Amino acid sequence: MNFTDRDQLKKRWSTKDFSYRQQHKPGDFCVFVTETAPPGPCGGGVESDAYFDSTVDFLAWMRYCQVPSLVSLNHGKGDSYTIEGDAFLGMCSDRYLHNVKGLIALLDAALAADDPAECVDEILETFNGIFHAGPPSYEINAAGPDMLTFLSDPFLQEKLDEAADDEDDETGDCARLKKLIDDSELDESNEEHAQLAEEFLEGCRRF
């Protein structure tokens, strides 16, 4: 990625008016996230799928939007979008600072890499290790550069197995989706396949 592209991604994800999409289109990088607020009047949880234009777009969202936001929230400072650049690091406690700086370094290296996809697993492990504890607890449970890889993630496979088991027979929608995935035949550009995936994911969402 050249610096112009990176500057554009930074501008895109540093604005309060831009968010990830919750409507899938072929070619998207797909993730499933869980956010749990602490008990109280505003407590509760969200489980939802989210979509990005590419792997690089997803990594830029983490680097310039989500990590600053979560650091800010976890330190009781509210919305971090008003913080310029990496000034949000100044609010990190000693416990967080080393780990967050390490995550930022991984994201910067991935955004500059020839193949950022090779870095995703390590980044997700590091990200979840930092922000799973919260509050609020935030975790990226599944991720993939296409719908087949995404739905093949063990987290979603377990949900799909349970949903298929609850159906009356092997011709149910979840059973059909499971067979497509097991046979590596799921085609996200196929309207019927996409509808099966959407209906399954709709059942996984919680707001």
pLDDT tens string 144-154: 999 999 999 99
Choosing from 127, 145, 163, the residue where a domain stops is: 145
Of residues 196 and 15, the one with the higher pLDDT is 196
Q: Please report, rounded to a whole number, the percentage of residues in the chain having pLDDT higher than 70.
A: 89
Give the domain extent around 55: 3-145
Question: At 70, which helix (H) or strand (E)?
Answer: helix 67-74
- Last residue of some domain: 145, 160, 180? 145
Residues 128 and 191 reside in one and the same domain:
no
Average pLDDT over residues 121-147: 94
Identify whether residues 78 and 108 lie together within a single domain. yes
Q: How does residue 69 score in pLDDT terms, banded at 50, 70 and 90? A: confident
CA distances (Å), origin 192, targets 32, 42, 58, 141, 185 = 21, 39, 26, 25, 12
- pLDDT bracket for residue 4 (50, 70, 90): low
**111/172 same-domain check:** no
Closest among 106, 128, 92 to 59, alpha carbons compared: 106
Residues 113, 186: one domain? no
What pLDDT score was predicted for residue 170?
79
Q: Per-residue pLDDT for 45 more than 90?
A: no
For residue 96, the model assigns a pLDDT of 82
pLDDT for the residue 80? 47
* pTM of the entire predicted model: 0.90
Bigger pLDDT: 117 or 85? 117
Same-domain pairing of 137 and 156: no
Task: Assign 184 to helix, strand or coil.
Answer: coil
**pLDDT grade for 180, boundaries at 50, 70 and 90:** very high
Instruction: Determine the pLDDT at residue 79.
Output: 55
Q: Is 161 found in the same domain as 130? A: no
What is the pLDDT at residue 82? 52
Q: Which of 16, 108, 8 is nearest to 69 (CA)?
A: 16
Is residue 42 scored above 70 in pLDDT? no
Mean pLDDT taken over the chain: 89
Q: Are residues 7 and 66 in the same domain?
A: yes
Looking at the fold, whether 131 and 170 belong to one and the same domain comes out as no
